[in-house]
Every structure is written in structure tokens, then in C-alpha cells.
A and B are shown apart, each in its own frame.
Chain A
Amino acid sequence: MAELTVRRLWKEYGSQVVLENLNLTVADHEFVTIVGASGCGKTTFLKMLLGIEQPSRGELLIDGKLLASEPDKERGIVFQRYSLFPHLSVLDNLLLGLELQGAPLLGKLFGVRRQQAISKASELLNAIGLYHARDKYPSQLSGGMQQRLSIAQSVICEPKILLLDEPFGALDPGITADMHELILKLWESRRMTIFMITHDVQESFKLGTRLLVFDKLRHDPQSPEAYGASITYDIPLRHSKPARSIAA
């Protein structure tokens, strides 16, 4: 269960207003896609959900409680790049979350518990089609493989909310279709709430159950930084069955 509430949220950097007066309630297991012009504050919004940026005003609540102001295991993140650990093999990258949470002293699991973790990870490796590459290092993987691993790495920890910042932006179209299938499958089976920023409007319609469009409501040509962006459209996309959206 994770219901997210955004209440009168503002974000300013110095005199620049980036986001103004965001209000939003997102139910559990929603797939929210976010689109908007470049530089309008989408990543900033995601960073606040993640806890690495703080709101200037307003509140972010998860199930009625204030969101922790540091990243934690309730919220997973997949960046466009750099979110894998170059010194760990594919398998170890996937195990990392389980090990960090299962062994607070050394961050490493041994014996039976390690075997259990490995079998859990192997299942997911099969699901993302990387089982054959489990002993490789991230730098030996293609961009698409890296992104699949990065998603799985977050998903294995079963976060309530998964945040994706243009996760497929750097991938070519053929691979993107596979990635869509994968993310929908995971979203369906793990019952997370997903927030995904994308530049691709088609993608946002195909994947989301709800589409948010960020844009400025007011614009002052004399001082473009005076007003920030808000959610100008909040469009329910009435398909919750992933099977249909893939067929579409």
C-alpha cells in the first residue's frame, strides 16, 4: 500500500521558481508517466520524491506520513546512466540490495542465506534475460542490458515507489519495446507505484495509467524565471491491463 500525496508543493532555486503549487494524489499501484518541456522541472520533482532535493514549500506525504528527506529503500530509482556498480558482476549488482538489507555489519551474505538470495536473483535474471551474462561486469554490457539490470536491481528490493528518469532515453527503438514489456511485467507482478519521466509522448500513453503534463501556466517574457511549472494536464489513461497496452 502506498498512497502518495503532494500538497501545495513549491521548489525554488534562488530567485528561479522551478515548480509552483503542485497538488496531486496518486493511488497505490498507479503507473504515472510525466512529460513536459526540457528544463521545466520534471527531474526536480522526481528528486524531491526521492529525497535528494527538499521542497521549498509544501508537503510530500506517503500514506499520510511525511516523506523521509534522505533516499531510502521505500523508493527505488533508475537513472539514465551510472546507476550500476562497476566493481560488481551482474549477479553481485543484483544481490547488492538483498545483502545491504540482510547484513547490516558487512553488507555481505554467506552460506544458506546467500544461496537463497542467489536463487531469488537468478529468477529475476532470467526474467530480464541476463542470466547468461551473470558473471560479466557492467562495462561489458550493452546499454539496454545495463538498463534492464538497473531496473531489476531496484525492483528486487520491492520498493513501494519506483522512480524512472528517462530510463530508455539512450536506447534504440527496437530495444525500447522489449524494455516496455519488461517494466510492465514487473509493475504488474510487484504492485509498485511507478513514476516515469519520458520525452516520448507515445511511450507515456502506452505505459501509463495516468499522464501528467508539466508546463508553465503563466509566462513573463521580461523575467522568464519568475514563474514555475505546474501540472497542466492530469490525464487518466483507462487501461490498467498491461496486456492491452502492449497489444496497442
Chain B
Amino acid sequence: MESSNDIQLLPLMPRLINFHPRRSSALALSALPFLLLMLAYLFGSSLRLAENPDDKLLPALGNIFSTFRQYAFEEDARSGEVLLWLDTFASLKRIGIALGISSAIALSAGLCLGIIPALRATLGSFVTVISMIPPLAILPILFIALGLGEVSKITLIVIGISPVMIRDLSQRCMELPAEQLIKAQTLGANSWLLVVRVVLPQILPRLLGALRLSLSSAWLFLISAEAIASTEGLGYRIFLVRRYLAMDVILPYVLWITLLAFSMDWLLRIASRKVFPWAEV
């Protein structure tokens, strides 16, 4: 008789997997974890500061704000630069160039591997193996070979993210239904036209998707490289002030980096929706 009970209960209490919160409450729900984290911080911070007013680990909010204002709006006494913008500009330039280069590499290599069987036979497993190399392990090689300048940092990011992007894009090419490629040939396409009119336009939205997925790795490699050898940059700054346990600098910097990464992801998503409406329907 259990089954009849089930049927009676269903309208009253949907299964958890079938319960969809409404739009307004979904918004409130998504804000909840942020609020909780904030509260936990305030609570912990005030506890520690009550015990020891010089505590550095969880500085008070006011303290963080004033340090942030100083970094964001006042010129540094030594360099005469506004540090936050100096760092932000340096880091964004590195990651921007690296993402651009990685996209170009991933697009061309992914396309070629995806649609030319002979090339896939030659290079397919090579790319797979390369993508398994932990990029940070070859960072010393990059520093030795390319010096400590911008090139080695950008190269690290490119090496770190492009193999996976190549694999993703070539996979997408291969997933295109064979019927489409055959049909295009019966409409008069040669290999080149097949690429520019059929394959490329269909994997471009996937490129944006692959970029979005690589963003977090790209930031990881950027900050690692900056931490080791740099004179400016968001990662450099964090690791520099770590020596003084300056949590009032580190915390807002981390938040700022998160915000930057989130905005890049968001922009890519919006761009994809605007430029490739067909991929959404």
C-alpha cells in the first residue's frame, strides 16, 4: 500500500528534485551563502580583535576599507603610482595577451586536428600528452629560456591552457554530424569553404565556452608566475605584502581578482549570446 501513499502525498510535497524555487526567492537564496560568509568573518574578526587589538589575521572591515582606498586612490610614496591600477593593468595585459594567443592557437590547431584525419593521426596523441604536463613544473625552464620578463609569464599561461582548449575544439569539430559535411560538399564546398562556412562558424561559440572554462587556470598561472618573478601585478602584490602579514591588503586584492575573473566570465557569456544567437535556441 506504500505506492498509494506516495500518490496521495505527491501534490502536497513534491520530491526535492522537483521543487523549483521562484525567481525572487532564487535570488535571495543565492545571496544567502555570501551573507553567511560575511557574518562569519565579522564574528570571527570581532572575537579576535577583542582579544588582541593588534591581531593581523582578520582585520576589521574599516581597516580593510581604508587600506583599499589608499591602494586604489592614493599615489604610492616610493613609486609615485596608484598601486591597485598599476597592478591591475599589468595583470590584465598579461592575461589578455595570453588568452588572445591561446584562442588563436586553439582555434587553428583545433580546427586542423578536428577535420584533417591525417593530421589527427600524427598529432592527436602528442597534444594529449602535452596537455598532461603540469605547466608549473616547466616554469623554471621558461624563466631560464625566456628570461624573467613578460614573455615567460605569458608563455606559461598559453602552455597551461591551450592544449585543453585545442582538445575541446577538435572534439567539437569531430562531433559535427557527418551528414552536414557531406551535404556541404554536394552543395559545392571544397575543404577550404567547408572550414570557413560550415565548421568555423559552428565552433566559434565553443571557443568562447572553452575560454570561459580556462579562465580560472589562466589566473592560477598568472598569479604563480607573478609571485615568483615580477615587479608589479596583482599576484606580485599579494605575495609581496604576505611578508608583513598584511591581510588588510591581501583580502581586498583577492576579492578584486575574483571580481575581475567573474566579470570576464560574464562578459564572455553575454558576448556568446549576442554574437551567436543560434547556439542558444
A residues neighboring B (CB under 8 Å): 50, 52, 70-73, 75-77, 79, 81-83, 85-89, 96-97, 99-101, 104, 106-108, 137, 139-140, 153-154, 157, 159
6 contacts between A and B (CB under 8 A): A73-B187, A75-B186, A100-B187, A101-B187, A137-B281, A154-B187
In angstroms, Cα B100 to Cα A117, docked, is 37
Residue from the list B179, B189, B202, B276 in contact with A82, Cβ < 8 A: B179
Residues of A within 8 A of B202 (CB): 85-87
Residues of A within 8 A of B187 (CB): 73, 76, 96-97, 100-101, 153-154, 157
In angstroms, Cα B276 to Cα A81, docked, is 23
Q: How far is the CB of B281 from chain A (nearest CB, A)?
A: 5
Q: How far is the CB of B5 from chain A (nearest CB, A)?
A: 40
Known: A50-B182, A83-B183. Is A107-B189 also a contact (CB below 8 A)? Answer: yes
The 7 closest A-B pairs by CB, nearest first: A97-B187, A71-B185, A101-B188, A82-B177, A82-B179, A107-B197, A100-B188
Q: Within 8 Å of chain A (Cβ to Cβ): is B279?
A: yes
State whether A137 touches B278 (Cβ < 8 A): yes
**Secondary structure dominating the interface of A:** loop
State whether A83 touches B180 (Cβ < 8 A): yes
**Secondary structure dominating the interface of B:** helix
Q: Within 8 Å of chain A (Cβ to Cβ): is B184?
A: yes
Residue in chain A with minimal CB distance to B204: A87
In angstroms, Cα B198 to Cα A107, docked, is 10
Known: A73-B187, A137-B278. Is A104-B193 also a contact (CB below 8 A)? Answer: yes
Residues of A within 8 A of B198 (CB): 85
In angstroms, Cα B186 to Cα A73, docked, is 4
In angstroms, Cα B179 to Cα A77, docked, is 9
State whether A72 touches B185 (Cβ < 8 A): yes
State whether A96 touches B278 (Cβ < 8 A): no
State whether A157 touches B188 (Cβ < 8 A): yes
Q: Within 8 Å of chain A (Cβ to Cβ): is B32?
A: no
